[in-house]
Each structure stands twice: as C-alpha cells, then as structure tokens.
Chains A and B, each alone.
Chain A
C-alpha cells in the first residue's frame, strides 16, 4: 500500500502513472484503486490509445485524446508532417501561451521521441498540479513518460507498416482559357483594356499551340498523387530482479509528394530518414538503492529541393496561372518568365537538393536511496540529465536555364512574331554550402527527500525537491536557467478525505535579479463520497469524488531582457560628398523597471464518477485569473517622450471553461467494447491591456477576447452608381458596382476603420473542442475509430489566388470565380466581390465576407485489426501476431470546402494517410 502510493502523489514532480480517469484502462477493467486519492485535475492517454494513430511527431497523435488540450493540426513538411499548435485550457495570456512539455520529468521536445516508446501522456490543468512548476506552470504542463522494462522473460516486439499519404485537400484553380477570360473581366471592371483577344483565349482553350498558348495544371505537373512512408520498429523488454531493460530501435523513411525528382545521382524529393534508439534501465544495486538510466538518441536526415522550400513551392502552385508558360518550351528548355512566379516543376527538379542532419541525445540518470532503516519513511533521490541537439544543413544547389516565348496570333489565328527571351543559366555542377542551423544543450540537476507515514486511519506523504536546469540555444541572449524548490504534503484521512498542499519557490533567469523569484502555493482537497455511510447502499456507485483546488502559478515566458536598456542601430547620416553613411547608434526600448512574471490564480472544481462498473464520468469547471501580464506602455505614454516605452505589468485576463468526459466500456467474454466522448469549452476576457483610447466601445479590445476577429460588416454589393451615390462614402478606395458595401456602424456617413466591429471568434485557437470514439473487439478482430472536432474559431481567408484572386498576375480559384459578383448577371447568390486585377483596398480587408467561422469534425483515426488466435500463434512460439490497416484524417465534415479547415494557408498540405502493417510479439 505504502509503496504504491508514491507514484501517484508525486505525479506533479515526475512523470508517473496518470492518476485520474483514463479512458482506455477501463476497457480492461484494471482501474487502479490508487486513482481515488488524487486531488488534482489532469487527463492522460496511454500507449494503446496513442498507437491508434501513426505519426512521425507524437504530438500529432493527441487529437481528441486529452480533454483540455487545445490542439490544432498544421501544414508544412517539417518532419514529414506539421507540428501541431498546442495550448492547455485555451488562451490566458496576452503575451505567450506555450505549454511546458516534460519527457520523463525533464523539459524536452515531444518530437524527439517516436510514438512507440511512449507509455503515456498527461496534461496537468489546475493549480494543485501546476503550482509545483512555479514560474512555468501557468500555461499548463504536458508530461510524457517513456516505457520501462518489466521483470520477466525477454519480450521482443517487431512491427512494420507501410503508409500512403495524400493531401487532405488541394484547391482547384481555373484553366488557361478561363483565367484569360477572368483577367479580361477584371480589367473591364476596372475600366482598362482587355489583355487577351478572343483568338488568344480560343488558343488557350483548344490547346493547339501548347507551348505558346499553354494550359498547365501546375499542381498535377508538380505533385504526384501520394507520398509514402515506411516504418520499422523493434523493442526488447524484460529483466531480472536486479536489472530491467526497455530497448527500442525505430526507423522511419518518409517520401513526399513531388513528381520528377529522380536525377542522375540524387533525388530532389522531400523526405525524412529518422532513426530513434532508446534504452531505459532500472537497476537495483542493493535492496534499498535503485538507479534508473534513460538514454535516447535520434538521428534525422531531411531532404528537399535545393532551390525552393516546401511552403514556397506550395505558394507557387496556388498562385501561378495555367497560361503563364509551358512546363518545357518547344526548344526543350524550362518555361519561365519574369512576370510570374518561377516554374515549380523546374524549381522542384532542377535546383539540386539540400539535406539537414539533426542529432538529438537525451540522457538522464536517477539514484534513489531508501533510508528507511535509519530514518523510517524517508527516501532520498538524486537526478541528473543532459540533452543535446544540433542541426546542420548541406545545400547542393544549381541554377537552370529557362525561357519565355511570347507570340501573337495573326488574323488566321496562327502564332507569329514569337519573342524569345532566355533567363538563368544551365549549370551541370552542384554548388555546396553548409551551415549550423540550430543547436541546444540542456542540463538538469535534482535532489529530493520523500517521507511517508501511515497512522491508524490516515496517511501522510511529504516531499521536498530541489531542481535546477539550464537550457542553452544558439545565439546570444538565448540561455535560460530555472531553479525551484518544491515542497508537497499529501494527507489522507479515513480513506475518504484527501488534502494536498503544494508550494514552490521558483526562480528564472529571464527576469532581473530583483524580481526573478516567486512563491507559488496551492491547496486542494478531494472527498470520496461513495465511501460515506449514506451511500454505502448504492452499490451501483463505484466512485463519486468531489475535488476542489485553488492556487497560484506563474509564466515567465515573457519578453526577453526587459530590464536592459539597449543601444543599437539608429540609422545613419551621410556626411560629405559621397554615398557612405556614418552609422548611428540610438537607444532602444526603455527598461521595464517593474518587469515580472505573469501570475495566474486558478480555481478548479472536479467531479469523477464511476457507475455500474461500466460508465465513467468526469466534469471539470475552472476559472483562471491571469494578472501582472507585461503589456506595452506605448499606448498610454505621451508622444513627446520620444523613446519606445517600456512594458509594465498591467495586463489582466480572465479565462474560464468546462470539460466533460464520459467513457463506457466493458469486457464480456470474447467481446470488449468502449465508447468515449469529450467536450471542452474555454473563453477569455481581457480586463486590462493598456489599450489606446478608442472612440467607440465596439472598437475596444479591453472587455473583449484575446485574438478576437475584427472586421467590417458587409451588407451586400453595390448595385449601381446610384446605389454608391446614395450610400455612405467608403474611404478605402473608389468603389464601383460589385464592390462590397459596408455597414456604417457609427453613423457618420463614412466607412472607415472606425466601422470595424468584433465578429466571429478567436483567430488563433478555437473555443470548443470535442471528440468521440469507439472500440470493438471480438475474438481477435477489432475495429476502432476516433472523431475530433472544433468550433468557435475564425479566420480571415486572405490567401491570394484562392480568395484574393488575380492580383500580382496570380491565378484564380474556381471557387472564387463561381461565387463572385459578375457584371450583368443575376448576383443574388454571389458571395465574393467583382473581379479586379489589382488589389482592391475596399474589398480585400478584414470583413464579414472574407472571414469564416470555422467548425469541423475530422475522422482522426479508423482502424481494423485481426489478432491471430492463440492456438495458431503458439505453433510459431509467438505471443501475439496482429495485422492492421488504419487510416488517419480520412475525412472532414466542415464548412470550408476549398481547403483543409485547419490549414487555410499556403503551406505543404496536411495529409490523410492509410497504413498497413503487422505487430509481432515473441
């Protein structure tokens, strides 16, 4: 009993078995009795749940798994997939909302791991759980725990999977003839001469002169329809009384979406080769002396074309018109021009290639000494850790020759007078360049003393821990140190009432000497009602727990070097009769004399329930009052002051919300099932932010929400000139029929920036996240699926081509063309304003047409598997053999049809994927 107590209540310091309602464990019915003692709010997910997805970056396996985690998928090819954005319990700070991620108790990137080695992931949400993290607790903490060896015979696990990845959605752009017509329509709308003759448009449409009047589907020419990934995993796990081990070897090879990548001796494909290794050892040196050693390494090579990054390439594919130039001209030379973006096919195949080499080492060691024989109930712990990371890039790039051929059609429609211009040069040799992109060293030291004692009807656990760590990144002013002394006391009374007192004294190097230390106390209590006499009769009630917590946490991730008074670039002046500037040095921002960390006082109420040994229910409600947020003084400092004003801790934000979770699961003979559902909502309110004066209340951010969308309210299109004359003057640009007509909010007969009102929701983080899923298994055959959605999220759809078409010689999406105002047409269904070939200051601005309140529901994972029956596998001396096929992000129900609802920008697309493979254990 005593021994089992430790991991649970020391949760807040180390990464330990998650203590609260964990959906998946209920499937097996192995709910740990110890769960009941905790008084904190946290949620966690175990390996089995995580492995339902298959990701290179383990953070991408967390969608819909942790109630209270606000996680958004991102595009980009970084590690074969984007790095998701994560917050815990919404947005509470005006400055920085990033969460602290700890792997095995030390601050580390979750992306330095692979999914297979993770035992569980827990997020800590309330003051009781976060106060021990002192100045870094306020934004929430994620604990990742890796797997450890279990005593017993060696257990070998081998798995392999092959994956096919396809873009979630790519926008459709118009063909060459339609583009030419759209440009002409835009020019006509602007009162300018048309650019394309009917003959030319016909030539684009007929495809008769494919190199002079081309019609190129650039996405099709540049991207293949899928990428692929292979992953091999090997783990060994076992040990004796004295030594237990867990070892892992994992290799991932990912290949991206480019076509035309095989060159003579190299490939220009986007790709990653990632090797992860790990050994976790538990050594009992004596019966009272234990050592843990964790060693992990990651070697990653990333490849990409030499001349263009993933995001730049996608930007070209989104914007390049189909008639810009042919892929290759009739001379066999790359097509190109100085008018349009570069030829994406040439850029992705003929510019050489770049490789990055990243190396990660994570190492830590823990010595635990039980002092029970000298000091009853006392144990001591000592821990060191050292991590290192570096990334270098090698570029082998080259240039290529390209040409433009501009032809005119004569009266018979035959091209004449072709003007040929060549650009660039054909290089055979690849150049070479190499640089250090990033590096990081991180060292940790911790000491702890633990004490526990049981009394007749109560028990006490207490600990005190000293921690310090130093994180050194590339560059000056990029080293961060933290130091904490954390004390904790847990007291349990009559197995019904539990109390925790957590305290941290916490210091940070981010702040000046006089304000770098803070004291963070938190109190919490839990009451197990189901053990009370008055509920004894209710046998259907397995658990009913009421939790309350209140305390203080901090956030030091605020502006850097606020106490400094820096002098730097201040322009220069040219003296004398030449062009040579005499450089000037001027003062920078004034020092913030009262710089401090943000404080967050958090209150949490939680209810955990379990009924009929079948249904789990969890409810959390919280209120987070964030104050001492460093906000700029510029808006309230007299203009004649003449310097960039300092910041002062005047910002105040309240953030509140609820989390509801439910899980129903049971084993009945050969049949097991589990159904889960979660919902969370979070909303903030800015109480104070040193805002500049606003003449109208609706313009004020104070009282509103962080990242609130502001825009003009569109009340239709201008029908004709009379309509324009009779409407308030719109001051952004001269308006014509078909332009957006805005509502005059302040009634001054002028439409300007003062008519902008808050609309929609947060532009960075949805307010609502929800998810639901099920598991079914019968006689070795199983299926499961997990859905996840979000709502109350707003974006300004300002992507050129897709939403802001034609300007800067960019193309137009079929979506826009089909939905825009057309002269002379019935425009009752039109969504977007008239076509223009230049940027329309009136139309292309934040307004209710181009904003979108986004809500979506994605199928995050769906899996079917089959475990071979025991009588079969025993013949092969196997413990388990499992075949599976799973899909990720297979579809999305949403109100954004043109692109992925979470990735509305021009980046390498978020992907859907299908995975086939097997797991083998022997």
Chain B
C-alpha cells in the first residue's frame, strides 16, 4: 500500500511538472484572451503625425483620375475615356461588359447595370466617392488629437480634406444632381436613412466646404514644397473648383424654368433648382472674378509658354508642377512598362482604338488665322491639315504629321492605315489620339521607346484655361464686360500662336464659340460631356460622327479625302442616341443602382431611369 501511494505521488508529481512547464498556462477567461498583436486601429493612427498624414493620403488616393488604369484601380468607363460618349471621340472596342462605350452606345445601360457593372460613366459602386468622403471626415474629426503635429499643419490638412470632400461632391453632382449630404463620418449604429439633398442644398454644401477650405489653405504650393509635394490641394484649388461647379450649376441643365425631364426627382428639386435663377450666373461670375483677383495678387499659377506652341500646349496638360493645373491628380503607374495595368491607357487608347478622334473634332480646330475652316481663306479642302491650330496636331495624329520619328501614313496602303471594318486599331478613324499618349503604342504597331516612355504625367483635373473660358462664359451670360471675355479666350489662342476670335459675335454665337474653344483645348479631358449636358445639347447627342478615309493617288502623290459616317446604326446597336426616338434627356444624368434605391433609405431615382 505504501509503495502504491509512493508511486501515485510520483505520477501526480510528474503530471504537475509537465503542466507547470507550459509557460503560458492560464485558466478562466484569461485563457481565451488573444495573444498581443500589432493591430493598427484608429487610436494608433491618430497617435502620431506620420500615421495621421497617411490617413489623409488614403483620402487623396480616392480622387478621380481620368485615364484608363485597367485593373489597377478605378476602372470607370471600362477601357474607354469619358469623351468617347461625345461627338469628339469614338471608341471601337467592343469587349462586352468591359467597354463603357458599348453599354452607352447600345443603350443597355440601366439602373440594374449599376448594381454590378463597372463600365458606366460614373460607376456608382466602383468610384470610391463615399469612402473618400468618409476618409476625409474621419481625418477632420480625429486629427486634432494627434499630439506631435503643429496646429498650423492640422488646420491646413483639414482644409485639404474639405477640398477632397468637395471634389467628390462636384463629380457626383455633375453626374447625379443632388445627393445625400454627408457632413460627418457616420458610425455603424447611426440612423442611415438619409434622403437626397436638393440640388441647391448639395451646391450650398459644396460651396461651404470650399469657402472654409479657401480661408485656411495657402494660395499655392511654395516653390520649396512644389518639387516634393505638388499635387496637394491649395486655396487656388478650392477657389477654382468653386468657379467650375457654379458655372455648371448656373447652366441650363439645372438652372431653367422647367426641369430637363419630369419625375419624382424633378418634383423634389433634386435635379434642378426649381426655377431659373439669374443670380446663379452672377455667383459663377463672382467666383471666377475672385479667382482671377487672387491670381493677379499672388501669381504662381499661369499658362505654360514655350517657343514651340505645340510643346507649350502639351506641357500644360501633361507635365506636373507647371502651375497650369489648378488641380491635378496623380497615379502610381510605372512607365515605360507597356503591359503594366496601371498604364493601360497606352494599350486601349493608343493601340486598340478606344479613343479615335472624329472628323467633328478635327473640324473644330480653327486655322492659324483664328478663323474657323468654314470661313478662313487659308483652308484648302485638298490640304485640310495645313496651317491649322497647333492644338489639333497635339490632340490627334493627322496624316502627314510627325509620328514616331517619321511621318504618319494614315492613307489606304500607308504604314499606319487601319481598315475600319472588322478590326481594332487606334488609327481606324484616321485620327489616332496623341493627347496623353504622344508617340508610340503597342500591338501591331508596337513601337518603343516612345516619347511618353519614362515620363511623369498627371491627370489635369482642373486646368487654368478652363477658368479663363468659364470667366468668358459667365461674363457673356451676365451681359458683362465682353472685351474682357474676348481677352480671356485670346489668352489661350496667344499661347499657341493663332489668330484671335472674330470680334462682334452675338451672345449665341459667342457661347457656341466658347464651347468649340473648350473642345479644342480640352478634348480627352472630360470637359465636353459636361458641356453637352449642361447646355442640353440634344442636337449633338443625336449626331453620328464622321471619320476620314484618305486615298493617295499613286501617280500624283496627292491625297483625296472621303468623310464617312461611323458605322450606321442599322443593327440597332451602335450609337443608339443617333437613331430616331432613341435619345432621351434621361441620359444627361446617371442612374443610381437599383440595389441602392431598394435599400429604401429615401434615395429617389433620377428621371427616366
């Protein structure tokens, strides 16, 4: 018996030793506590200035970038540029479900499409609008508790955050009208029934944010900051954006005696202001004037001037930190890797043909004397590309212009000619885009290294010329100083060395001239679409654009030009809007996803969707 007790004690001791050798032996609730881990939560972020800044950079990361980024980010419009929905540009890439052009051209776009699709012009669920707004609000609400950040920096960064919120609101306002006013970061438990703000409330909210930001932000990046920090938002950004959005708001789409289309959203004044308000034009004028007053006082922003007007124009939209961009967004592609998804605009627009220029676009560019081709004595239909506005040559590659160390041969049998029917290709309309892509491309015309190779570029979200032209337009609309208005337009013409706009135009002609000037200046820059909708230009929507087929006479070497319609819509699928009865004003604004409407928190669908 004694022996067995001894053994028993021995065994129990053995067990106990084993147990106690487990170093982290715990019982009860403590046992279930997780091991310490380096979780980063909101308190960690706002405990240190370095982390806090990265929170704001993540809000910057949501800003709109207009070039096709492929799979790497906001793949809005699928593979296509927004301008392909206008008369300036034509996309012939029909990869269904990917091409933004396809779903708009063939009219299949719908509120249901927005639920899962990622190729619509706004792409409600793809565009990081609400998450960008939330990131910015979270930053504004939390940055004050960062211990090691100067007060002045906190104030400035909060100002930048407000401009970010306003930029997202400006984008969505121009595609949807009034939307819910989100004036703080919602918590998960908060009531999330929030109806759309009216167009006026939404506009007021944007203006308030921008005014608040303008009072605290520096006018421009200082020269010492510019190299490292160019791209940060400034007082000029806030004031410029305010001028742009007021000009849009004052335009007939929302500012009219009747809504562009009847519907519940119109009855509730979500997509117009309820009546014509001439004071909106006054506000637009004031905002532009305020911007230029401040510009005259502080300078630092100006057009890019160079001895070669083409290079000046190119640098103005493409190069960072020149002072021409009031707001520019940057993206993380790595040129020159052609196949890098982050820069697939090379492939889609430069090679596949998502951004072919139209004859309508080409015809808009004036002659070097400043007169339109219909009026200028310089224009010779046998040599349509001679003595034109240099911006034409920088916008599209025309036959006979320099191209990739040689001459572009876009005639039947020429080196760069591409059959329009049944193939892809950037040259198939006769006008390959040069803007943003410059020389070179891929695929069958794979030509590297190109001019764009290794270049740091930007998306010119808001460029100074737009404010000049906006100023001219607001002056005209308010019957203001027309000399100043002409001066604004001619400022841009002087830069590229062409003749001034013909004097003595009446109001209607002048406004038309401004829209044309804007097309020449901003083709491929997401300006034309908004011009078309804000002036409710059904006439442009219903037009089928043209392309050119150039034939070279083998004996004389002379070229002849045949202008053809893009594929007629006989199959009922190409550019539906041109077909009789197919266009409706509902296309001016986008549809909210039907899933979002059906969540029943008060979101009202736009008219017609």
Contacts and interface: CB of A to CB of B under 8 A. Distances in A.
A574 B34 contact: no
Contacts of A579: 332-335, 456
A577 interface: yes
A576 B227 contact: yes
Contacts of B27: 468
Interface stretch (A11-19, A42-50, A564-572, A903-911): A564-572
B596 A289 contact: no
Interface in A265-296: 285-286, 289, 291
A640 B194 contact: yes
Contacts of B148: none
20 contacts: A285-B4, A445-B25, A509-B32, A567-B44, A573-B231, A576-B230, A578-B456, A586-B59, A587-B138, A590-B188, A639-B596, A641-B134, A642-B133, A643-B131, A646-B188, A695-B594, A731-B96, A734-B94, A753-B112, A754-B112
A638 B57 contact: no
Nearest to B179: A640
Interface in A546-603: 564-568, 570-579, 581-587, 590-591, 593
B42 A565 contact: yes
Interface stretch (A67-75, A346-354, A452-460, A474-482): A474-482
A731 to B, nearest CB: 5
Contact of A285 (B7, B97, B573): B7
Interface in B209-250: 226-232
The 3 A-B residue pairs with the shortest CB-CB distance in the complex, in nearest-first order: A584-B58, A570-B58, A571-B61
Contacts of A574: 231, 330-332
Given A575-B228, A577-B456, A641-B186, A285 B54 contact: no
B58 to A, nearest CB: 3
B591 to A, nearest CB: 13
Interface in A684-734: 692-693, 695, 731-734
B51 A639 contact: no
B135 interface: yes
B573 A443 contact: no
Contacts of B456: 577-579
Nearest to B596: A639
A57 B29 CA distance: 37
Contacts of B59: 584, 586
Contacts of B135: 570, 586-587, 642
B41 A753 contact: no
Interface in A40-69: none
B57 A573 contact: yes
Contacts of B40: 566-568, 585
Interface string B313-340: 0000000110000000011111100000
A877 interface: no
Contacts of B573: 734
Interface string B181-206: 01001101100111000000000000
Contacts of B120: none
Interface in B75-92: none
A635 B595 CA distance: 8
Contacts of A573: 57, 60-61, 63, 231, 330
A258 to B, nearest CB: 33
B228 A367 contact: no
B410 to A, nearest CB: 23
Residue among A577, A642, A643 with the highest chain B CB neighbour number at 10 A: A642
A476 B456 CA distance: 39
Contacts of A291: 11
B33 interface: yes
A573 to B, nearest CB: 4
A565 B41 contact: yes
Contacts of A731: 96, 108
A477 B51 contact: no
Interface string A351-382: 00000000000000101010000000000001
Residue among B28, B32, B62 with the highest chain A CB neighbour number at 10 A: B32
A649 to B, nearest CB: 14
B599 interface: yes
B37 interface: yes
A483 interface: yes
Contacts of A414: none
A636 interface: yes
A446 to B, nearest CB: 12
Interface in B115-153: 115-116, 124-125, 130-135, 138
A804 B492 CA distance: 55
Interface stretch (B15-23, B467-475, B483-491, B507-515): B15-23
Nearest to B132: A642
B37 A477 contact: yes
A191 interface: yes
Nearest to A285: B7
Given A483-B31, A573-B57, A638-B194, A191 B422 contact: yes
A575 B115 CA distance: 33
Contacts of A445: 19, 25
A839 to B, nearest CB: 10
Contacts of B598: 692-693
A577 B194 contact: no
B418 to A, nearest CB: 15
A566 B41 contact: yes
Given A579-B334, A693-B595, A572 B34 contact: no
A324 interface: no
Contacts of A513: 29, 33
A367 B112 contact: no
A732 B95 CA distance: 10
A507 interface: yes
Residue among A286, A479, A516, A638 with the highest chain B CB neighbour number at 10 A: A638
Contacts of A582: 53-54, 57
A575 B330 contact: yes
B58 A586 contact: yes
A574 B335 CA distance: 14
A653 B22 CA distance: 41
A593 B189 CA distance: 9
Interface string A889-920: 00000000000000000000000000000000
Contacts of B130: 639-642
A513 B7 CA distance: 42
A710 to B, nearest CB: 14
A607 B15 CA distance: 44
Interface string B593-604: 111101101010
A440 B380 CA distance: 81
Given A567-B45, A639-B130, A642-B130, A384 B192 contact: no
Contacts of A752: 108, 112
Contact of B188 (A286, A593, A695, A754): A593
Nearest to B601: A638
Contacts of A635: 595, 599
Given A289-B11, A567-B44, A841-B97, A638 B192 contact: yes
A576 B182 CA distance: 31
Contacts of A585: 40, 45, 51, 54-55, 57-58
Nearest to A693: B598
Nearest to A637: B192
Contacts of A367: 11-12, 15
A642 B185 CA distance: 9
Given A289-B8, A570-B61, A584 B595 contact: no
A577 B37 contact: no
A575 B192 contact: no
Contacts of A384: 15, 18-19
A227 B96 CA distance: 46
B180 interface: yes
Nearest to A481: B32
A637 B130 CA distance: 13
Given A384-B18, A572-B332, A575-B228, 9 more contacts: A468-B31, A567-B55, A571-B73, A573-B60, A579-B332, A579-B333, A642-B182, A731-B108, A841-B96
